[in-house]
Amino acid sequence: MNDQYAVMGDPIAHSKSPLIHQLFAKQTQQALEYRALLVPAKEFKQYLSDFFLKGGKGLNITVPLKELAWQQVDIKNPLAERAGAVNTISLQDGKLLGHNTDGIGLVRDIIQNNNGTLKGKKILVLGAGGAVRGVLEPLLLENPKSLTIANRTVEKAHKLQVLFSSQGEITACGFSDVGKEPFDLIINGTSASLHGALPPLDKGMISKQTWCYDMMYSKEKTPFNFWAETQGAEKTMDGLGMLVEQAAEAFYIWRNIRPDTSSVIQQLIQK
């Protein structure tokens, strides 16, 4: 029987992870099976132990189970520890090892797929939920000039500022206090795009050199990226590349082989 992998979440029917990992497996000639499993939060602990007891090799974890996974694994790598969430689980010497590959995926997508740079850049991150917490450390490791977290509830942004202050230059504020100075990169980590909405933003924060990244992705341009383009942003990107890159990092953790992501991103765009 081929090695068994899966993604657990609720909802899960929309997940592109099985397709992405099938494409990786084919490309790298790895014999494995990867499924999407609908797992309600209250049954997660049971599903998790059953999966590995039956010989499963590795898991991806998506909404709303990442914080639960963080609590359930035996060991967390440093990135996952500070992220407060686990999106990838591997098995090592009978122990469940928790990783967070989201931030690595975001950084790789910006730098490798879009030929961007984060070093010395002025970055604004919108939102202070789990998605943002998971990407802050990898962003700060790239040595930006500064990183500002803006959120509707300032207290949540301040908590993240305190948590990651040892990692680099980081400040926190409300949406209305961002100021009118333009940023080099604005990352939307709010779920507003899912509801066709936008965080309340000042158009002064975008210049002709600003890049904008929406961590959400959809067939059509996201409301955030549409807004950014109308404000004259130099470049807009959505989270599809991040999705593929975080999956590639998980695949590497499990199989010790790094798939080529560019061809997979192109296939997903065409689909």
Mean pLDDT of the chain: 95
pTM, full prediction: 0.95
Question: Is position 156 annotated as part of the catalytic site?
Answer: no
List of domains in the chain = 3-100+241-270 (3.40.50.10860), 103-238 (3.40.50.720)
For 197-237, write each residue's pLDDT tens digit.
888 888 889 999 999 999 998 888 999 999 999 999 999 99
Tens-place pLDDT, residues 121-143: 999 999 999 889 999 999 999 99
CB 242 within 8 A of CB 265: no
Whether residue 154 has pLDDT greater than 90: yes
Which residues are within 8 A (CB) of 154 and not within 5 positions of it... i.e. 6 or more apart? 172, 173, 174, 177
Query: pLDDT tens for residues 92-115?
Result: 999 999 999 999 999 999 999 999
Mean pLDDT of 168-197: 90
Query: Could you tell me which residues come within 8 angstroms of residue 20 by beta carbon, excluding any fewer than 6 positions away?
Result: 243, 244, 247, 264, 268
Distance CA 180, CA 176 (A): 10
Give the pLDDT confidence of 234-271 residue by residue, as tens digits: 999 999 999 999 999 999 999 999 999 999 999 999 98
- Tell me if 209 sits within 8 A of 182, measured CB to CB: yes
Q: If you ran DSSP here, which 8-state letter would residue 38 be given?
A: E
Please identify which of the residues 16, 57, 66, 121 carries the catalytic annotation.
66
Nearest to 261 by CA among 35, 32, 21: 21
Which pLDDT value is given to residue 4?
Answer: 98
> Per-residue pLDDT for 159 more than 80?
yes
Q: What is the pLDDT of residue 202?
A: 85
pLDDT at residue 109 in the model: 98
pLDDT exceeding 70 applies to what percent of the chain? 100
- pLDDT for res 204: 87
- Positions of E strands within 10-93: 32-38, 58-61, 75-76, 88-92
